[in-house]
Amino acid sequence: MKERNSVRRGRTAGGRWRPAAFILAAVFMVFSLSLFGEKVFASSIDLDRDCSLTISAGSMMLEELPDANVEIDLYRVADAIPVQGFDTYDWQVNEPFAYRGITIDKNIDNAGWRELANKAANIVLGEAPEGKTEWDPSDSINAIPDEIKKMGQLPDTKIEPLEPGLYLILAHGSDIAEYATTDTSAAPAAGSTGSTAETAAAVGGTATIAHSRHYLFKFSPELISIPARTMDSTQPSNTADREGWYYDAAAMLKPSQSPRLGNLKIEKDLLDYAQREKTTDGKTRLIKDPATVVFDVSVYSSEEEYDPAKPGENRIYHNNVSVVFDAYGKKSVLIENLPAYSYAVVKEVYAGQAYTIDDTVRTETILANETVTIPFEDEYDDTHGGGGSVTNKFTYKAGQSKWGWEQMTDSSQNGTVIQSDATTNKED
């Protein structure tokens, strides 16, 4: 224990001792975590006592959590050092954080804590390689000293023993190599629990991800200081507080959650094209018979939800799409944003009078972040006469508070893709 005290009373080069009593509140208000724990009443803080941190998942994650393989990495950014004459402590920043410019200003606010957490995360995870938004941070993490690292596994993990200090929390999927990501979105503010205040939204910077079969979870880096002074959530902490300190803290993760999506491409190969000669008034001209092909598309949440005897039941998406040919070859139509691992069922229902329908029902499972293709072929049957169809495209005009529509004879015309809303809507 003598060696630990010696470390805590040292100073980082260029660092300053700063009273922590008035900024502890900001630490707890900035995190998207809910903190609570065992309260110990004492006349003064005991920095020789071991601490612990229990981390659990919020309710939004519980259903998908077993499939998400969430792991917790904990890094001690700074040691707690006593402030002589006061019942509080200051921070002495550890390497490599001090070497990389991490300092804690006595006037730091919520935005400053968010920035500090992001800077610390960048040191641990490294920077995104050029041209990439997700990367494997293992090389950078291996450079962090082992003595300031701890690890745990959800759904509930108690990490102990922990030395008093300021810790960086990084949650990520243990089965994902490239779990570090550049986050340009805003994370939702977390509600308060117990004595902590509602937190502010974390915007931008570096984040970490985990994913289940159907959802992507994104975690902002968080800082937590242990032990913690009890406090009124609307008032800053101060040395006059008569309450004790939390040595065994707990935190609840509140990541952003979004559905994992994939795309479906229906590709049609017209092996031959109908054209004929027609003579009128002694003049012969070539007549083309356009080939219009229509597909019925149904999507179900899983293969088990699809009943061939009752194809209209349980589907989460349904549409008819068409392609029009004026020559033989391949054309395709793309349906985007279908739920990952949903089950697509496609059937060709119309091909005009001159073509043989490829009426085999084809199915495919949608894969996350990929485009799966279902192919069809048609032959010219040597009869004459064209055929056509119209696809109605509806678009909501927000400024006019009304729906507009246009008729499209070809779902693939002008590079058009169909945006699925199957992630939020289910057919009755």
Task: Note the pLDDT tens digit of each residue in 25-65.
Answer: 333 333 334 344 444 444 488 999 999 999 988 776 777 77
Which helix (H) or strand (E) segment holds residue 140: the answer is helix 138-142
Task: Please report, rounded to a whole number, the percentage of residues in the chain having pLDDT higher than 70.
Answer: 68
Characterize the bridge pairing of strands 261-270 and 371-380.
parallel
Q: What is the mean pLDDT of residues 209-223?
A: 92
The model's pLDDT over 230-270, given as tens digits with 9 standing for 90+, comes to 544 334 444 345 467 889 988 888 888 899 999 999 999 88
User: What is the chain's percent helix, strand, coil content, to nearest 5?
Assistant: 15, 45, 45
Instruction: Return the number of other C-beta atoms located less than 10 Å from residue 354's C-beta.
Output: 22
**Mean per-residue pLDDT, 383-393:** 47
The reported pTM is 0.70
Q: Identify the band that residue 287 occupies on the pLDDT scale cut at 50, 70 and 90.
A: low
Name beta bridge partners: 265.
Answer: 334, 373
Average pLDDT over residues 352-357: 77
% of the chain at pLDDT higher than 90: 42
Name every residue whose Cβ is closer than 8 Å to that of residue 391 and which is 6 or more positions away in sequence.
320, 321, 322, 407, 408, 409, 410, 411
- Cite the residue boundaries of each domain of the chain with CATH code 2.60.40: 261-419
Residue pair 83/93 in contact (Cβ under 8 Å)? The answer is no
Q: Across-strand partners of 162? A: 51
- The mean pLDDT value for 61-71 works out to 81
CA angle 236, 72, 35 (to 5 degrees): 25
- pLDDT confidence tier of residue 381, bands split at 50, 70 and 90: low
Q: Are 30 and 181 in contact (CB under 8 A)?
A: no
Q: Which residues of 111-130 are buried (b: 16+ CB within 10 A; e: fewer)?
A: eebbbbbbbbbbbbbbebee
Distance of alpha carbon 132 from alpha carbon 206, whole angstroms: 13
Structure tokens given for 271: 């092996």
* Tokens at 402, concatenated: 């009304």
- Cα separation, 192 vs 233, whole angstroms: 9
pLDDT of 13: 34
Q: Which of 96-100, 125-129, 163-167, 397-401 is predicted with the least confidence, judged by mean pLDDT?
A: 397-401
In angstroms, the first-to-last Cα distance of the chain is: 67
Tell me which of 2.40.128, 1.20.120, 2.60.40, 3.20.20 is the CATH number of domain 261-419: 2.60.40
